[in-house]
Amino acid sequence: MEFEGKIALVTGAAQGIGAAVARALAARGASVAAVDSNRDRLDVVAAEIRASGGRAASFSADVTDREAVDAAVDQIESELGPIDFLVNVAGVLRVGLVEALRDEDWEQTFAVNARGVFYLCRAVAQRMVPRKSGAIVTVGSNAGRTPRMHMSLYAASKAAAAMFTKCIGLELAQHGIRCNVVSPGSTDTPMQRSLWKDENGAQAAIDGAPGAYKVGIPLQRIADPTDVADAVLFLLSDRARHITMHDICVDGGATLGV
């Protein structure tokens, strides 16, 4: 299989896009180190992967805690082997107009969405560099490319994580390590559903909101987490061996190709 013998660390693996990436990697032969702070849900996802014939182990860790991240990476390398792939998916969403946002909203959003990416990338890069191989993908957001009403913190944190990933891609290229970004738009996940006001939430996202200066989705559908996972797996694969510092937008055209 495509990723047979590879070790993949996936954060945010307890649900949504992270779980979809973990399942897809395992289905293609990788041994998945599933990382999340939600240990109960994480264990369920790992068990489901193993029940389907895949290889997965759960490692509970808070990505905002540097010591916890370093310990988890050490444990993964000790128990599973050298990490070949890192996929940063863990994220949080705090919405609201700027005048209503609290200091703690800023701190928590950047702690998970940006600082967590830094901690994981640093810990894994320190191990990949001597081996002269590896691939990193950070799951960003199309909100990091275009302004969104009520989403200033989320958009800014995702933009920061995307640019950080591209910069380390430049630094690590000499060691044969590729670093790329996948930026989803509206995707059917618990985070997305938390924004919906009623059962018509998906259609509202497809239609757009002129009053909020938000274009709809030209392809007329909400993404499935597997759509995002497919883009992640392409960037990890040898088919993308000459692609680094790139950002693939998976949003059905919602940002009009910008």
What's the per-residue H, E or C state across the chain? CCCCCCEEEEECCCCHHHHHHHHHHHHCCCEEEEEECCHHHHHHHHHHHHHCCCEEEEEECCCCCHHHHHHHHHHHHHHCCCCCEEEECCCCCCCCCHHHCCHHHHHHHHHHHHHHHHHHHHHHHHHHHHHCCEEEEEECCHHHCCCCCCCHHHHHHHHHHHHHHHHHHHHHHHHCEEEEEEEECCECCHHHHCCCCCCCHHHHHHHCEHHHCECCCCCCCCECHHHHHHHHHHHHCHHHCCCCCCEEEECCCCCCCC
Q: What is the pLDDT of residues 95-132, one digit of tens each?
A: 999 999 999 999 999 999 999 999 999 999 999 999 99
Which pLDDT tens digit goes with each residue over 6-40?
A: 999 999 999 999 999 999 999 999 999 999 999 99
Q: What domains appear along the chain, each with residue ranges and CATH number? A: 7-250 (3.40.50.720)
Kindly indicate the confidence band of residue 67, based on its pLDDT and cuts at 50, 70 and 90.
Answer: very high
Active-site amino acid positions: 154
Q: What is the pLDDT of residue 197?
A: 78
Give the residue, 58 or 196, on which the prediction is more confident: 58
Predicted pLDDT at 199: 80
pLDDT of res. 241: 98
pLDDT at 233 over 90: yes
Give tens-digit pLDDT for 131-190.
999 999 999 999 999 999 999 999 999 999 999 999 999 999 999 999 999 999 999 998
